[in-house]
Structure 1
Amino acid sequence: MTEKPIAWGYMRLRDDTDDQELLLIEDRLHDYAEAHGLRLVHTHYEDGPGISPSRLVRRLIRDDVRHVIVPSLVQISEHPLLQLLVSEAISLDAGALLYETSESHGRADVR
């Protein structure tokens, strides 16, 4: 039996997000991973206004993770240019694919 590639989830925590909402979002990330032949093994939760791309890229490289799933690109940043920069860092620097629960981004297709 071939083992599924591992994936990490990423969610930015906001002050108004309750625990029940977080559980529902994480369940959706797990369902998305399963539907796309991936195994979600960890979800990073980050406080504050946005992602720390260099820290995430270093962790992806260190742990040899090639798939990152987010509920939406707004989890990365609300600014479209920052969304693009972080997605490119994940793709080009870490060699990973970035997935929204509605579509995928990256240089390869894993379907």
Structure 2
Amino acid sequence: MRDLIARALVCVLALFTPSARRPEPGRHTAAYLADQPTPTDPGPWGDPWTTPTPAHVIERHTPLLGEDVPLVRPYVAGFRPPQTETEWQVERRRAAAFASAGYDYPYSYPGAPLAEAVSA
């Protein structure tokens, strides 16, 4: 036990005694940052983008605000309707989830009596 206490005391005293070697500047000090070379060539990514941003990218990053905003983004509405039974199950579950949240979801299935009215 005395040996452990002595080792701990030596470690604590070593923290408070100045060392003989000169410490190098830390990575976040002004002296360290002054020695760093400044980049001369930013590379290909330093130039601004030359082409205009596509409309679908701008639409994707536009927030959905207001009450008359559709729940589905315009770029998502162009997907094909479900074809397999599994896809129809996912569609029915999605419609049930929207209905439980109180949202209208245009849902139809093959042979539905109002399929023409929903798709129009």
| Between structures 1 and 2, the one with greater strand share | 1
Q: TM-score normalised by the shorter chain: which range applies? A: under 0.3
TM-score in terms of structure 1 length: 0.25
Larger Rg belongs to: 2
TM-score in terms of structure 2 length: 0.24
